[in-house]
Amino acid sequence: MSGGGKAGDRPVVLVSGGSRGIGRAVALRLAQDGYDVSFCFRGDEQAAATLEKELDGLGARALARRVDVTDAQSVRDWVEATERDFGPVAVAVTSAGITRDKPLLMMADSDWHEVLDTNLDGVYHVCRAVVFPMMKRRAGSIVTVASVSGLYGNAGQTNYAASKAGIIAFSRSLAKEVGRRGIRVNAVAPGLIDTDMSAVLDEQVRTQVAERTALGRTGLPAEVAEVAAFLASDRASYVTGAVLPVDGGL
């Protein structure tokens, strides 16, 4: 843990998958908006330590924790530690995700289950852990990170697309459940974004996607983070159950 200030000085955001990619950009953007940041990571301790230092430089307290989002108890422990050390979670952003891309006929059962367990069950575990305290306070904002694959489908990504479509339906349904308790739930649906996850794609594939995009390029994590920050904030006070594509006009 690092950063200055006392508990309660700043609102608290919880970010799953926060050490890299979109999650990292969201953590930094919300720190700029005045949040203390609790983020979890799966394996890259160096990336987590680097992000802690950057958050400290922005004046935010940071809590980095290794968490398996497929494990409900691990997630609950993280949320409890965050609220104990920092105070109530005002915003939760679920950005932990993996890919195991293969055509369905070549997909192992483990490829299916690992993606659904991480991408969809991970969202369930985080939201399940934060929503009851938010309901008691009658305030809170949840932003889930879905994908345009969950809106349109994508060949070779039946597992990933199914998980992201599930996140969209989950978010819209949860928004209807908790809206009268002052909690908003929204999703962002990124297109092809320049992250470690997309870096493994063949350059020809990346070029083809860019050519099918109205803006003619791939996106940046910071561009997704801007939309997530808007949805998390009071600027979006009358927005819930929404799914905002951030895909450059794919």
- State residue 188's pLDDT score: 98
Distance CA 32, CA 17 (A): 19
Alpha carbon 217 to its chain centroid, in Å, reads 22
**Contact present, 17 and 95 (Cβ < 8 Å):** yes
163 is in an annotated binding site: yes
Residue at 154 is within a domain:
yes
Catalytic site residue from 124, 152, 160, 238: 160
Q: Is 22 labelled a binding residue? A: no
Measured CA to CA, the distance from residue 169 to residue 96 in angstroms comes to 17
Residue 1 placed within a domain: no
160 is catalytic: yes
Residue whose tokens read 């609220």: 83
Low-confidence ranges of the chain (pLDDT < 50): 1-6
The type of residue at 198 is: S
**Phi and psi angles of residue 82, each rounded to the nearest 5 degrees, phi first:** -65, -50
SS (H, E, C) the chain: CECCCCCCCCCEEEEECCCCHHHHHHHHHHHHCCCEEEEEECCCHHHHHHHHHHHHHCCCCEEEEECCCCCHHHHHHHHHHHHHHCCCEEEEEECCCCCCCCCHHHCCHHHHHHHHHHHHHHHHHHHHHHHHHHHHHCCEEEEEECCCHHHHCCCCCHHHHHHHHHHHHHHHHHHHHHHHHCEEEEEEEECCECCHHHHCCCHHHHHHHHHCCCCCCCECHHHHHHHHHHHHCHHHCCCCCCEEEECCCC
Domain assignment present for 235 = yes
19 is in an annotated binding site: yes
Q: Is residue 178 part of a domain?
A: yes
Q: Which of 37, 53, 153, 39 is nearest to 104 (CA)?
A: 153
| pLDDT of amino acid 2 | 44
pTM of the shown model: 0.93
Query: Is residue 2 in some structural domain?
Result: no
CA 166 to chain centre: 14
* Residue 226 included in any domain: yes
In a domain? residue 106:
yes
Find out whether 161 is annotated in a ligand binding site. yes
Q: What is the pLDDT of residue 4?
A: 43
pLDDT at 208: 80
* Full residue range of the structural domain in which residue 50 is found: 12-245
CATH number where 33 lies: 3.40.50.720
Predicted local confidence at residue 29, as pLDDT = 98
CA distance 225 to 249: 17
Distance CA 248, CA 218 (A): 7
In a domain, residue 87? The reply is yes
What local confidence, expressed as pLDDT, does residue 34 receive?
A: 97
Total domains in the chain come to: 1
